[in-house]
Structure 1
Amino acid sequence: MHKLGISVYPDKTPMNEVYAYMEKAAKLGYSRIFTCFLSIPDEERESYLVEFKEFMKKAHELGFEVAADTNPQVFDLIGATPGNLKPFADLGLDIIRMDGNFGTQGDIQLTRNPYNIKIEFNASMDMGVELLINNGGNKDQITMCHNFFPERYTGLDFDLFMEYNRYWKELNLHTAAFVSSNNEHTIGPWQVFCGLPTVEIMRGLPIDLQARYMLATGDVDDILIGNYPATDEELEALAKVNLQAIEIRVDEAEGISQNEKEIMYDFAPHWDRYDHSSFMLRSSSPRVWFKAKKSVQDGNMGKDTQMNVESQSIPYRDPGKKVFTRGDVLIVNDNLAHYRGELEIVLTEIPNDGERNLVATVKPEELMLLDFIKPGHHFKILK
């Protein structure tokens, strides 16, 4: 099950502002919080941990699960050890994210704690987790979360990101990764202002598109906003992302008919045929749905047979191009009546033979999503 999360840094922000942000996110369905113990000055840590208990109480009241970034030095400062996580349990913490380790046996002890505190390891590089599991680590208390990367051009390569996630899924481990707000003057654990994404190519993209790329891979469970605060519009956009189907945003062609709009937007879900073509994605079910829908509508309105036929018509419309290219969204027209109403998305250029109408074009920054729609995979088109 997917969860959405926010990041907050109470040591850098007035607590009333943090609480207001949490309340806003909770109302939209967010249920995870990431925070960080690593950036708190040593001289302030004791007083901060007192305040942190109240923060945890508020978070739990709002239904959040909270993870905090820690390392062995943090353990020393609060009096915890791999065999004694009571200081963290007393704080009410749900997840300890390890930035560093205690060696194989120490980390195994962490995963065997009696407080049901999950131990979160670095999904961006920590390949020693399988060794822990094979040597007695408790998989039920192990979870994986990627890094975020404050510095431009240093985020994870997307192919490597997918490779890691496939590996964690082979071990049946829960995964999380960070998307980044494009709000101005956001903060993180340190004074950096270039966003906090996991994957470099996602830096600067709309926040919902970042999430849709991650979900399209099929191997990311939880999506967290790394920097604070996201705008209200970003929180809402991310909360509206379809967690069950790949969503693709398009630029609608001029002059398309109401019938074509219904096929493109109202039919759900579209899915690529199992007998997949390398030239196009084919959503064939809309042609049956469209024919039945129009027949019922026209029958209820008492129209004669000729008008029924016309309402089910999709006349050819000249798109002004001889070749359709990758990302063009097409609907089969009356010139190929048996397949009329089928929606297709071009993967490799094909000639315009007059049997298909151009109804939209996938936005350039969304074209890579087409690579993730495999035979049988659901997708939805957004204007």
Structure 2
Amino acid sequence: MRQLGISIYPSHASLEENIAYLKLAHKYGFKRVFTCLLSIEGDKDKIVKGFKDIIVEANKLGMEVIADVNPRVFGELGINYDDLSFLNDLHVYGIRLDIGFSGLEESIMTFNSYGLNIEINMSSGGKYLENIMSYKSNTEKLLGCHNFYPHRYSGLNYEHFIQCTKQFKQFGIRTAAFVSSKYATFGPWPVNEGLCTLEAHRDLPSKVQAMHLFATGLIDDVIVANAFASEKELKDLSEINKEKLTFDAILVDSIPEIEKKIVLEEFHFNRGDVSDYLIRSTQSRAKYKGHEFIPFNSPDIKRGDLLIDTSLYGNYAGEFQIALKDMKNSGKTNVVGRIIKEELFLLSYIEAWQKFAIIENK
């Protein structure tokens, strides 16, 4: 089951603010919590207590906390890869290794006696994962999570992201990636120009970033990397259909009732004999056979337009389509709405037999 998550940075906000944020995210069904031990400085006992207080509150809400660590943090906190009792005492669900060990250590950690999950960095590629797997790791306790990038232009290239993620999915490992809130003001580091995994996401709404990650079919969990996301962002994220691409669209004012029902209420899937020009959902042709679809809005067609063929097209009358390219309109097709511009690029993820839906953006 795909999940949503938030990030908590105890040293950057008060305990009360962090707990309020946890409760708000929980209200909207968020299950995961990322936190970062990499930037700890100062009184270690005090800092660790601050983390533990947050983790205890998250656990009370049924949320799963994973703490980011690396070999340096292990040394500073006196943690050994074959004794994770310190981390167990923090009551975390698992740890994320931002920088790893040799592969053998990670493998041994997946068999820790506390049942802690070991999450490894997915963004670097190479043979790191294969090396860990060569040591006969316990994949039931192995997770993968990409990095986030606070510096503009430093985020992952899409092709590299896909390549790295596929390495993990081929072993059946659960995967995660980060999206950025437009309203959040901080992360773990002083630089904060957005906090996303993919550079292409940096200026997109968090909802669209998450929709894209889920649409790849390769990411199981999406985590908001910076804090604090707005309530509207959390609500919008919670309303995403994680299994089926659901586009926001603006409908034309003149759309008749039947055409509106076709767009918003029919079960849509793209035909198997795919077109370069159209996503075609044809079930409405049979359902509304005999209904007269009258031309009322037939301008030339732009990519992202929602289309319904009129009765002038004979057997095609009532067929619902989404334009993939700009086209001339014969005058026989009504333009009944349009996908919002931020989501247009997601049309490329509708393949043969792919299910999808449309909701009205008001």
Query: Which structure would you say has the larger Rg?
Result: 1
Partner of 1:306: none
Partner of 2:129: 129
TM superposition shift of 1:290: 4.2
Q: How does 1:54-69 map to 2 (within 5 A)?
A: 54-69=53-68
Identity of aligned residues (%): 35
Residue of 280, 283, 286 corresponding to 2:284: 286
Q: How does 1:210-229 map to 2 (within 5 A)?
A: 210-229=209-228
Distance 1:289 1:178 in 2: 42
Residue of 340, 353, 363 corresponding to 2:330: 353
DSSP-derived class of the 2:236 partner: helix
DSSP-derived class of the 1:351 partner: coil
Distance 2:297 2:213 in 1: 37
Change (3 A) 1:341 1:236: same
Cα RMSD between the aligned structures?
Answer: 1.6
Structure 1 residue 97 corresponds to structure 2 residue 96: yes
TM superposition shift of 1:173: 1.0
Of residues 142-151 and 258-267 in structure 1, the stretch that sits farther from structure 2 once superposed is 258-267
Structure 1 residue 167 corresponds to structure 2 residue 167: yes
Change (3 A) 1:126 1:107: farther
Distance 1:126 1:116 in 2: 26
Partner of 1:326: 303
Change (3 A) 1:22 1:318: closer
TM-score, with structure 1 as normaliser: 0.90
Q: How does 1:15-54 map to 2 (within 5 A)?
A: 15-41=15-41, 43-54=42-53
Q: Which runs of 5+ in 1 are unaligned?
A: 292-308
Distance 1:364 1:20 in 2: 34
Larger fraction in helix: 1
Partner of 2:247: 248
Partner of 2:270: 272
Tell me the alpha carbon deviations over residues 172-216 of structure 1, each in whole angstroms, 9 at most, x when there is no partner: 1110000110005x1110122311011111112111111111111
Contact 1:23–1:62 (8 Å) recurs in 2: yes
Distance 1:151 1:53 in 2: 29
TM superposition shift of 1:318: 4.0
Contact 1:130–1:171 (8 Å) recurs in 2: no
Partner of 2:294: 315
Of residues 204-213 and 52-61 in structure 1, the stretch that sits farther from structure 2 once superposed is 52-61
TM superposition shift of 1:382: 2.5
Change (3 A) 1:290 1:124: farther
Structure 1 residue 340 corresponds to structure 2 residue 317: yes
Give the aligned length.
359
TM superposition shift of 1:316: 1.2
Contact 2:183–2:229 (8 Å) recurs in 1: yes
Distance 2:146 2:70 in 1: 16
Distance 2:248 2:206 in 1: 13
DSSP-derived class of the 1:103 partner: coil
Distance 1:248 1:120 in 2: 32
Of residues 174-183 and 349-358 in structure 1, the stretch that sits farther from structure 2 once superposed is 349-358
Partner of 1:205: 204
Of residues 234-243 and 50-59 in structure 1, the stretch that sits farther from structure 2 once superposed is 50-59
Partner of 1:299: none
Q: How does 1:292-311 map to 2 (within 5 A)?
A: none
Distance 1:211 1:257 in 2: 33
Change (3 A) 1:28 1:255: same
Contact 2:129–2:168 (8 Å) recurs in 1: no
Contact 2:299–2:335 (8 Å) recurs in 1: no
Contact 2:65–2:92 (8 Å) recurs in 1: yes
Contact 2:181–2:225 (8 Å) recurs in 1: yes
Distance 2:121 2:68 in 1: 10
Partner of 2:150: 150
TM superposition shift of 1:254: 4.2
TM superposition shift of 1:126: 4.3
Distance 1:354 1:188 in 2: 53
